[in-house]
Every structure is written in structure tokens, then in C-alpha cells.
Amino acid sequence: MAKRATFAVRLLVLCCLGAIADAEYKLYQDPKKPLNRRIKDLLRRMTLEEKIGQMMQIERSVASPQVMNKYYIGSVLSGGGSSPGPEAPPEKWVDMVNDFQKGSLSTRLGIPMIYGIDAVHGHNTVYKATVFPHNVGLGATRDPILVKKIGAATALELRATGIPYTFAPCIAVCRDPRWGRCYESYSEDPKVVKEMTEIIPGLQGDIPPNSSKGVPYVHGQRKVAACAKHYVGDGGTTKGMNMNNTVTSMHGLLSIHMPPYDDSIIKGVATIMVSYSSFNGEKMHASRNLITAFLKKTLRFRGFVISDYKGIDLITDPPHANYTYSILAGIGAGIDMIMVPENYTEFMNELTWLVKGKFIPISRIDDAVKRILRVKFTMGLFENPLADYSMVKYLGSQTHRELAREAVRKSLVLLKNGENADEPLIPLPKKASKVLVAGSHAHNIGYQCGGWTIEWQGKSGNITTGTTILTAIKNTVDPKTEVVYKESPDAEYVKSNKFSYAVVVVGELPYAEGDGDSLNLTLPDSSYSSIRNVCGAVRCVVVLITGRPVVVQPYIAEIDALVAAWLPGTQGQGVADVLYGDHAFTGRLPRTWFTTVDQLPINVGDTPYHPLFPFGFGLTTKPTQSHFNITT
């Protein structure tokens, strides 16, 4: 009997030890195990509350380590311009992100959160970051390799601040420049936009050979998760109005707006954001047919689908009028992660009620969480959840600024250069007695960068480090050349000062999203006044700082040379590089330049097609020479 008792005790002890060992070993925490087994193991351990927490993305202003821990929050974001403080250094960003992350890691299962931000033309919210040209300018370069390099540089600057996820690229095919987000679109032509999806492997890394289509991919701690947006048809709304209705056939949607998504999915994009807009009257945030049936099943996208900011609130009119219905429609359509910037407890309570009441099946919740976990595991967040200061050196590095300067040079489109080929004004002579630089945008970094720079709507002034076009001209001309800057000179002043030539830099004031919607596409009156006063009195180059084609008639007759510089970002030296012939003009219009707004929408391939400058137009120059020809 004693031997049997001793054996039983030993067996019990061994079982307990085995149970303790099993409790200590969690398969999902083992990086050597296959991805799908890790996902399955973690999912089976999660409560409904923990699953719903993973589906929420909240704004940093309402986040804290305690909130992350209590509600199992899956993601935090910086909304437009949201930062830990004015001119915050990268170390302060790292500390903030890590504090939130520590709250997530302290939960029962220790699932790391993912921090996201709109780094749409470089890491544009962060002081001293490199700000690249907005997408419309990059589309003018026709250079996917350059765009891939910009993606890689942006990834490093994001990681410098501890952020592993960007809501970029915008792969909208803007068909009407009246849209306030048109500068976020590479082109009106889906072929150009498809080429520019090369920014995704720049941000995320090149997907391994023979990878399955649709599987998200992020290669290590120097890369970040990307987000293709806004799915789908956001660039085709009626009159270009933001969040409006895109009226087209399914063939029109698939042939114009969908191709860049197919390319993005093939390249392993980790996430896709749903558009505020509607398709033939149906809100995209409620479109099960396009999100679940087409995106997830037909295109085989296996990353996660994220809503736009308060996107499900806008399913109803007025917004948030029936939030229970909005959650049911949005989650039911196939959205996996919801941006609920402030009212996350309301979302959590309502979704919990819908699941427990069997209005939303648990299988839909599990699909969402599996996708979110797949991205997090792929990114290596479980193995490397916390950032350090080792990458702060990449923020605004000289290498990245040189890349941005190259992008500016290649993005500029020369629309006019003298009355004929025998009398060009560009390249401008560096040696001259006295040169006038005029216009509201000549010495204003904020205006050069446009919206989505430091603040959501952008801002006037020298809001971050960079080189204005005025400073660039002074850096470029001969030391003996006198450069005079006068923002708004009158005609008499110009005539009386005997300038050799003038450079007039004018454009749109900064804007973002719906605040930039415009039915007339005119510049401020002061811009046209500067053109009239200067160009009527001396030979002049007009440099347009705009996010899209704008009205230039009837002023173009007075202008000797006209340059579309788009929104070039912080490196204004790239403008002077080309104006003065150190580099050639090579940019080509990514958009049709209308003659009058009455023609809109007008896009290449339309019949009739009578633009002021056609899609693909761009005069070219040779460095330090005045010969030029037309490229179309």
C-alpha cells in the first residue's frame, strides 16, 4: 500500500509540474512556430472582451497605459497633426509610444498594440522630418524606383519615432481636381498609380519570391506596415466633392479605381483603409459586396481592413444617428479594425451586445482578430514590441533630404518656356545684375509643403526645417547677383528697378481633405495680382505651388515661362536646381490641365478632349543649355 501511495504522489507531482510547464509555455509566444499555429493558439485563449479590444483603434489623446490595459486596446493612432507636443523631438515620440505599449504588454495575454500615423509625404507630422513632394508631384516623375526609395526613407523616419505603421499610400485615382485630396493621388491614370504602388515594398520590404498572393509582409525593424487607401473609388466622386458618391458601372470601378489595389495586394500590403465615399449610393463602409466578397475573397487579401477616422459613424446621415446599426453594418461588411478615436467604450459595449445577441456571428469577430494578429506577428511586434533611441539619427537625415531634393527636381513640369524654342527663358542665367523674387509662396516652408504637414490642414510659415525657394535661388545665383525679395510688388516698383528677370512663386493656401474642395480652382487674388504686376513689366518665370491644375487663363499670355511645382515639400533647393540649369526639366503632367473649369471632369481618353495642356505634357531642358523639346 505504501509503495502504491508513494507512486500516486509522484504521479500527482509530475502531473502538476507538467501543468505548470504547460502554463508557462505559450505557443503563440514562440517565434519558431508557424504563423498560423501562433494565431490559432492565441485566438483560442482570448475572451470576447479581448477580441473586441483588438478591433479598436483609439486616438493618442485619450490613450494611456491604464486604458490600454483595462480595455485590451489593439491600436492607437495620431489623428491629423496629433503629437506629444509642439516641436517634439523623436525621443519624446518613442517614449509616448512605449508607454502605451507597456500598458498593452501588461495585459493577461500581453498582445502588443500597433501605433499608426498619416505619414503621407514623409513623416509629415514630426518636427524636422524630411517632407517629400505630395503624391501628385511624385506622379509627375514617372519614377517608381524613386518612389520606392522614398518609401524606404519614410519607414526609417517612422521607426526613428517608434512608430511601425503608416496610413499610406493613398492610391486614389483622382478624376476631378476639384477634390480636396487630389494632391494625395499620383495621377488620373490608373496605370501611373499602379506603377507608384512600388512605394509599398519601399515601406514594407520586398515580398519574398513565391509568396502567396494577399499575405501581408513587413520585413523587420527598419520597415513599417503600409495601408492602401481609400477603398474604393474615392477619386471618382461627383464634382470631386470629398466623401461624395462615385457614380459609375462595375466595369468603370474595376477598370479605373481597382487596379492599384490588386497591385498593392500582390506586393503584400498589410492593411487597406475603407473610403468615406459611396459607390452608386451605397456607403463603402457598409459594402459587404466590395469588402468581404471582392476584396477578401476575390482578391484574396489576408491583411486587415481598417475604417477611416470615425468612418462607421458616417454610415448614417446625420453621423452617429444610429450607432448600433452603424456598427452592425460596418463590421458585417467586413471591416476588421475600427477607428473609434474617442468613444471607444460606446463601441465596445454596443459590439459586445451585438455579438452576444447573435446579430454578429463570432466567426466574423474571429476573422477580424485573426487578420489583425497576422499583421502583428508578421511585423515582429511580439518579439520586438518596444522601440529605443537607436534610430533617431534617421529623422531628417541629410541622405533623406538629398533624396527629397532629387524628387523635387524630377517632379517639376515645365509648361511654357518663352514664345518659341528659339527664345527660351529657362535655364535662367546665374549671372545677372539684379533679380526679383516675388509672390506669397517664395519664402514659406508651410506653403511649399501644403496640407498634412505638422498640422492636419497645414500651416503658413517656417513651421519645420527646410529650404524655401527664395533661399534656394540665393544659394544658386552668382555671388555678385543681387536678389531682391518683395512679396507683393506693384507694377511701378517692378518697372522702376530695372530687374534682369523675375521669379514669381504663387499658389494655393494649404488645405486637407474636404476643406480643399473647390468648384472654381482659382488662386487667391494676390497671386494673380503678383503675376500681372511682375510679368507685365519684366521677363518672368511663374512657379505654381499647387496640389492640382488651377486656373491660369488669361494670365498665361503675360507669362514667359510657367512651371508646375506641385507641393514640393521642405527641399526647395530642388526647384532652383532645375530653374538654373544644374539639372534638366523631365517631369510630365500626371493630370490633364483644363482650359476652363466648365470642362471638368476632363481626363485623358475623353472625347472631346481639348485641354490647355494634355496629360503627359512637359517641356524638357538640357542642363546649362537652352535647347528644349516637348515630351508627351
Positions annotated as catalytic residues are 308, 513
Secondary structure class of 164 (helix, strand, coil): coil
Separation between Cα atoms, residue 441 and residue 471, nearest integer Å: 12
**Packing angle, helices 35-45 and 362-379, rounded to 10:** 130
Cα separation, 75 vs 79, whole angstroms:
13
- What is the Cα 53 distance to its own chain's centre? 26
Bridge-based pairing of strands 540-545 and 501-507 is parallel
Neighbouring residues of 70: CB distance < 8 A, sequence distance ≥ 6: none
Beta bridge partner(s), residue 163: none
Judging by beta carbons within 10 Å of its beta carbon (0-12, 13-18, 19+), is residue 345 exposed, middle or buried?
Answer: middle
The alpha carbon of residue 625 and the mean position of all alpha carbons in its chain are separated, in whole angstroms, by: 37
Question: First-to-last CA distance in the chain?
Answer: 98
Do the Cβ atoms of 523 and 529 come closer than 8 Å? no
Q: Are 181 and 174 in contact (CB under 8 A)?
A: yes
User: Which residue type does 82 have?
Assistant: S
User: Residue 542 corresponds to which amino acid?
Assistant: V
Residue 56, helix vs strand vs coil: strand
The tally of CA atoms less than 13 A away on the side-chain side of residue 589 is: 27
CA atoms of 593 and 606, how far apart (whole Å): 13
Q: What is the C-alpha separation between 432 and 473, in angstroms, rounded? A: 12
Q: Residue 408: enclosing H or E segment and its boundaries?
A: helix 398-411
Place of cell 517641356: 619
Q: How many CA atoms lie within 13 A of 481 on its CB side?
A: 20
114: amino acid identity, one letter: I
DSSP structure string for 352-364: HHHHHTTSS-HHH
Could you tell me which residues are beta bridge partners of residue 564? 413, 544
| Residue 564 exposed, middle or buried by CB count within 10 Å (0-12, 13-18, 19+) | buried
